[in-house]
Amino acid sequence: MEGTAIRLQGLRKSFGQTAAVAGVDLEIRDGEFFSMLGPSGSGKTTVLRLIAGFETPSGGSVELAGRDVTRLAPFERDVHTVFQDYALFPHMTVEQNVAYGLKVRRVPKAERLVRARRALAEVRLEGYGRRRPSELSGGQRQRVALARALVGRPRVLLLDEPLGALDLKLREQMQIELKAIQREVGITFVFVTHDQEEALTMSDRIAVFHQGRIEQVGAPAEIYERPETEFVASFVGTSNLLRAESAQRILGSPGTYSVRPEKIRVLKESALADEPDVATATGTVAEVVYLGDATRFLVDLDAGGRLTALQQNLETSAEDVAAYRGTRVRLTWHRRHAVRVPDAR
Amino acid sequence: MTVAAQTAGQGPRAAARRLAGALHRRPRLRLALLLAAPLLWLAVLYLGSLSVLFVSAFWTTDSFTSQVVKVWSADNFHALFTTPVYRQVIGRSIGVALAVTALCVVIAFPVAFYTARVARPRWRPLLVVAILTPLWASYLVKVYAWRLILSQGGLADWMLKPLGLSGPGFGLPAAVLTLTYLWLPYMILPVHTALAQLPDNLLDASADLGARPGRTFGSVVVPMVLPSVAAGSIFTFSLSLGDYITVQIVGGKTQLIGNLVYSNIELDLPMAAALGTVPVVVIVLYLLAMRRTGALSSI
């Protein structure tokens, strides 16, 4: 599992006047499930296309397994891509689609068929080989695209928002399957998504993209629990920031702090919370949102600013929840859950 | 006024509303009314005249009086298959149609590739218009222009002279050349559309899986454009098969089916009808062959 699968150095890409990728340095390890997370237009897909070779960089370099491939065409790179809209060849059957990469590489026909069938079995599509892509559902097409990219056993598999077009249930199911397949085949996966939950649940490590740059790279827990920039704190998870003035009054030091909503407890204003390690703030409930398994409280703080708190509905139910609106509450959280976010660069 | 009286109402607007309502409730009647006029047109004017043509092909002509004798006989069709001249002309006509179609494909592909994928996007609509402009000019004007080009000492001769060659003159090659020029836009247009609609990510996907550009062209671009080529070929093939004017103007002494039909109309109408049936049958066969490529759904 040791070794570097991909190394990007000073990677830049401009389209006309706009810089889609503005200097990216990144190392992705062998066998890793690596996610590139960011809003649309943050440059994550462009980085993926630069790795695949569909675009040539305006500056910097791309290394695959220690070899500089910056100037190589896509067909000279040991990388395969799963496209956002699958890009299956409509004039070929499922089996022909999957075997295409092998055929191009002059793998003998018998072996081609065996490997294509095995790849289809890996994505649980046995017996679908003779159909046309147009005869499949979205989820099935997605898996054909996956099989087609996996069958050649590339060193790296690039996935460009492959679950974006699926409905919620199917997406959750595919997240689990994708992760299982990755563990089985042991190939490095580079997964582009704008869905932070998807990135958090599937990845070994995540890079958060913002305006063509990487804001933070780390394991999901690191990204979520210890965001290093204000953007990461607000993009990953619910934006919940205490700023200078109110931070000073509540936590006793100025600066920007991030507190995750589920770390905050909502108590009656009169409740005492005098433990040394607990921060406390009073305020008025501005809005209550019943989510089924939990309730979200939006609280306007007396010290200024607004915090969101998430409470599991252990005993409360929908009727009780509505009564909270407009009431006075006390929010408490453990001090170590207020994470100092460095000021913007 | 009550609500009922308002909706029932009187006057033309109310009647129109009742009619609209009645039609809405009877979708079959609505469909029948909509299709009546075009179906009548198709059945009476087109299929009707075709069947008259077909029926009259079984009649004969009295060789003394030149009167049509309405007696059933398959002599005309028999003559069609046994007379060497007829067989030659039919074979030549199909050959010309195929040659024109093949030339159109060979020329249209690179042109359409350029206009659909190579040229800058904002030039593309202009290029398509440029390809279509010859269609605005009269057919006869264009054919006579080619007659001038191909005439002795004309443009073709003049341009080929430095190479030590001369132009094709008037004859079969000239007819094929002129027909190719005439019907080329009908081939370029569908191929252009197919190439323009070809999703970029399919080309990316092919390259991603290791295919070099030539391979991608052969395995992805050509098969995906093929139905449109077939669609274009239906135009070029059937237009060429039916033409008899171009060949009169630039074809020298060359005769095609159309010329035989034309010259027989005065002398032997039933024979002309039998000859006229040939291109109809050939085109129906061609359409059946092209249907298998999926061409008919891409017209």
Q: In sequence order, what are the residues at sequence separation of 6 or more whose Cβ sits closer than 8 angstroms to the Cβ of residue B275?
A: B80, B86, B257, B260, B261, B264
With both helix axes pointing from N to C terminus, report the angle between B84-113 and B257-267 in degrees, rounded to the nearest 10. Answer: 140
B291 within some domain: yes
Please indicate, yes or no, whether residues B113 and B156 belong to a single structural domain of this protein: yes
Q: Which residue has the tokens 């060429």?
A: B240
Q: Which residue has the tokens 């001090």?
A: A335
- CA dist A147 and A123 (Å) reads 6
Tell me if B209 and A100 make a contact (CB, 8 A cut-off).
Answer: yes
The answer to whether the CB of A26 falls within 8 A of the CB of A7 is yes
B61 within some domain: no
B202 within some domain: yes
Q: Name residues 161-200 of chain A within 8 A of B (Cβ).
A: none
* A165 interaction partners in chain B (CB closer than 8 Å): none
Tell me if B210 and A105 make a contact (CB, 8 A cut-off).
Answer: yes
Exposure of B54 in the CB half-sphere (CA atoms within 13 A): 9
Six-digit token string for B267? 């002398």
Residue A90 touches chain B, beta carbons under 8 Å: yes
Which residues are A13's β-sheet partners? A21
B63 within some domain: no
Residue type, A39: P
Tell me if B205 and A53 make a contact (CB, 8 A cut-off).
Answer: no
Please indicate, yes or no, whether residues B12 and B110 belong to a single structural domain of this protein: no
User: What angle is formed at CA A9 by the lines to CA A47 and CA A232, rounded to 5 degrees?
Assistant: 60
Please indicate, yes or no, whether residues B32 and B154 belong to a single structural domain of this protein: no
Residue B206 touches chain A, beta carbons under 8 Å: yes
* B207 interaction partners in chain A (CB closer than 8 Å): 53-54, 73-75
- CA dist A212 and A152 (Å) reads 31
Please indicate, yes or no, whether residues B269 and B121 belong to a single structural domain of this protein: yes
Q: In sequence order, what are the residues at sequence separation of 6 or more whose Cβ sits closer than 8 angstroms to the Cβ of residue A190?
A: A6, A28, A34, A35, A36, A48, A51, A156, A157, A158, A159
Please indicate, yes or no, whether residues B293 and B224 belong to a single structural domain of this protein: yes
Tell me if B205 and A75 make a contact (CB, 8 A cut-off).
Answer: no
How many domains, in total, are found in chain B?
2
Cβ neighbours of B73 (radius 10 Å) = 12
Six-digit token string for B156? 């073709």
Burial B19-46 (b: 16+ CB within 10 A, else e): eeeeeeeeeeeeeeeeeeeeeeeeeeee
| Range list of H helices, A203-339 | 220-225, 230-235, 244-251, 318-322
CA closest to B218 among chain A residues: A104
- Residues of chain A short of pLDDT 70, as ranges, are 1-2, 273-274, 343-345
Residue B102 touches chain A, beta carbons under 8 Å: no
- CA dist A285 and A297 (Å) reads 7
B188 within some domain: yes
- CA dist A188 and A6 (Å) reads 9
Tell me if B204 and A73 make a contact (CB, 8 A cut-off).
Answer: no
Tell me if B210 and A90 make a contact (CB, 8 A cut-off).
Answer: no
Please indicate, yes or no, whether residues B137 and B42 belong to a single structural domain of this protein: no
B285 within some domain: yes
Exposure of B30 in the CB half-sphere (CA atoms within 13 A): 9
Please indicate, yes or no, whether residues B147 and B9 belong to a single structural domain of this protein: no
Tell me if B205 and A52 make a contact (CB, 8 A cut-off).
Answer: no
* B202 interaction partners in chain A (CB closer than 8 Å): 87, 89
Residue B198 touches chain A, beta carbons under 8 Å: no
Which residues are A22's β-sheet partners? A12
Burial A281-303 (b: 16+ CB within 10 A, else e): bebebeebebeeeebbbbbebeb
The helix/strand/coil state of A296 is: strand
Q: For residue B212, give the nearest of A54, A75, A89 by CB distance.
A: A75
Tell me if B204 and A105 make a contact (CB, 8 A cut-off).
Answer: no
Which residues are A287's β-sheet partners? A298
Residue A278's φ and ψ, nearest 5 degrees, are: -105, 130
Dihedral, CA atoms, B23, B25, B31, B37, nearest 10 degrees?
A: -20
Burial A242-270 (b: 16+ CB within 10 A, else e): beeebbebbbeeeebbbbbbbbbbbeeee
Tell me if B209 and A79 make a contact (CB, 8 A cut-off).
Answer: no
Beta strand extents in chain B (DSSP E only): 60-61, 68-69
Residue B214 touches chain A, beta carbons under 8 Å: no
Closest residue by Cα to residue A182 from A20, A34, A299: A34
Cβ burial, residue A337 (10 Å; 0-12/13-18/19+): middle
Tell me if B210 and A104 make a contact (CB, 8 A cut-off).
Answer: yes
- CA dist B180 and B146 (Å) reads 11
Please report, for chain A, the start and end positions of each structural domain, with discontinuous segments joined by +.
4-235, 241-341
Tell me if A89 and B202 make a contact (CB, 8 A cut-off).
Answer: yes
Best A100, A115, A132, A159 residue to mutate vs chain B (most B CBs within 10 Å) = A100
The helix/strand/coil state of A79 is: strand
Q: Which residue has the tokens 């005492």?
A: A272
Six-digit token string for B81? 């298959």
Residue type, A170: L
Q: Which residue has the tokens 């059946």?
A: B288
Please indicate, yes or no, whether residues B147 and B264 belong to a single structural domain of this protein: yes
The answer to whether the CB of B293 falls within 8 A of the CB of B227 is yes
Task: Quote the pLDDT of residue A141.
Answer: 92
DSSP states along A171-222: HHHHHHHHHHHHHHH--EEEEEES-HHHHHHH-SEEEEEETTEEEEEE-HHH
Tell me if A74 and B220 make a contact (CB, 8 A cut-off).
Answer: no
CATH number assigned to the domain comprising residue B93: 1.10.3720.10
* B198 interaction partners in chain A (CB closer than 8 Å): none
Q: In sequence order, what are the residues at sequence separation of 6 or more whose Cβ sits closer than 8 angstroms to the Cβ of residue B297?
A: B227
DSSP states along A122-148: HTT-TT-TTS-GGGS-HHHHHHHHHHH
Six-digit token string for A122? 């890996």
Please indicate, yes or no, whether residues B87 and B206 belong to a single structural domain of this protein: yes
Please indicate, yes or no, whether residues B51 and B80 belong to a single structural domain of this protein: no
| Distance in Å, alpha carbon of A25 to nearest chain B alpha carbon | 23
- CA dist A266 and A331 (Å) reads 5
* B220 interaction partners in chain A (CB closer than 8 Å): 89
Six-digit token string for A199? 């990135």
Find how far residue A81's CA is from the centre of its chain.
17
Residue type, A6: I
We find that the CATH architecture of domain A4-235 is 3-Layer(aba) Sandwich (3.40)
Q: Name residues 16-75 of chain B within 8 A of A (Cβ).
A: none
* A80 interaction partners in chain B (CB closer than 8 Å): 208-209
DSSP code of residue A344: P
Q: Domain range holding B20?
A: 3-56
B223 within some domain: yes
| Distance in Å, alpha carbon of A206 to nearest chain B alpha carbon | 24
Please indicate, yes or no, whether residues B25 and B139 belong to a single structural domain of this protein: no
The answer to whether the CB of A101 falls within 8 A of the CB of A93 is no
Q: What share of chain B is helix, strand, coil (3-state, %, to 5)?
A: 80, 0, 20
Please indicate, yes or no, whether residues B31 and B141 belong to a single structural domain of this protein: no
Tell me if A152 and B207 make a contact (CB, 8 A cut-off).
Answer: no
Q: List chain B pLDDT tens, one digit each, 299 residues.
A: 444 445 555 778 888 898 888 888 888 888 888 888 888 888 888 888 888 888 888 888 777 777 777 888 888 888 888 889 999 999 999 999 999 999 999 999 999 999 998 899 999 999 999 999 988 999 999 999 999 999 888 888 888 888 888 878 888 999 999 999 999 999 999 999 999 999 999 999 999 999 999 999 999 999 999 999 999 999 999 999 989 999 999 988 888 999 989 888 888 888 889 998 999 999 999 998 888 776 666 55
B70 within some domain: no
Residue B222 touches chain A, beta carbons under 8 Å: no
* A89 interaction partners in chain B (CB closer than 8 Å): 202, 205-206, 220, 224
Tell me if A75 and B210 make a contact (CB, 8 A cut-off).
Answer: yes
Domain A241-341 fold is OB fold (Dihydrolipoamide Acetyltransferase, E2P) (2.40.50)
Cβ burial, residue B201 (10 Å; 0-12/13-18/19+): middle
